Amino acid sequence: MKMHYKKISGFTIVEILITITVISILVAIVIYAGSNYINRTNEQTLKAELTAAAGAMKNYYNEEGEYPSSIPANADSDRVNRHSSSSTTQFCLYGSNNGTTFKVTNTNIIPVVGACP
């Protein structure tokens, strides 16, 4: 008597493993790209906050003839700090994002990488 085997259709274990590997690689790429996007967005936000705070300091100077002892309330941010060497005749504001420190001064209100003197 002859035995007849039914052909079972489906995926082999190798095909399933390859599919899982490819999907895992794609997910890793998406996560990496997303984290870079978030970091760049946070950096741009910090730079905008520094510029706004420097503008508020300049406006105060134009009205009062000296820089305020703290960042004006309309430009206050948890991430922007006033350096201790700042005075009524000059200022340096700084903030950090992901280990990089940016600063603005009374002579340059465009955020640049570096620490206050």
State the pLDDT at residue 7: 72
State the pLDDT at residue 93: 93
Q: Which domain holds residue 104?
A: 13-113
Element of type H or E holding 15: helix 13-64
Residue 49 lies in a domain: yes
Q: Which pair of structure tokens corresponds to residue 1?
A: 């008597």
State the pLDDT at residue 42: 92
Domain count, the chain: 1
Helix (H, G, I), strand (E, B) or coil at 101: strand
Element of type H or E holding 103: strand 100-105
Residue 83 lies in a domain: yes
Element of type H or E holding 97: strand 92-97
Cβ–Cβ contacts within 10 Å for residue 109, how many? 17
CA distance 20 to 111: 45
The phi, psi pair for 27, rounded to 5°, reads -65, -40
Residue 77 lies in a domain: yes
pLDDT in tens, the chain (117 residues): 677 777 777 788 999 999 999 999 999 999 988 888 888 999 999 999 999 999 999 999 999 999 888 888 777 678 888 887 778 889 999 999 989 999 999 999 899 999 988
Does the CA dihedral 75-76-77-79 come out positive or negative?
Answer: positive
State the pLDDT at residue 88: 83
Residue 32 lies in a domain: yes
Are 112 and 103 in contact, with CB atoms under 8 Å apart? yes
State the pLDDT at residue 96: 92
Residue 2 lies in a domain: no
Q: pTM of the prediction?
A: 0.72
Residue 8 lies in a domain: no
Residue 91 lies in a domain: yes
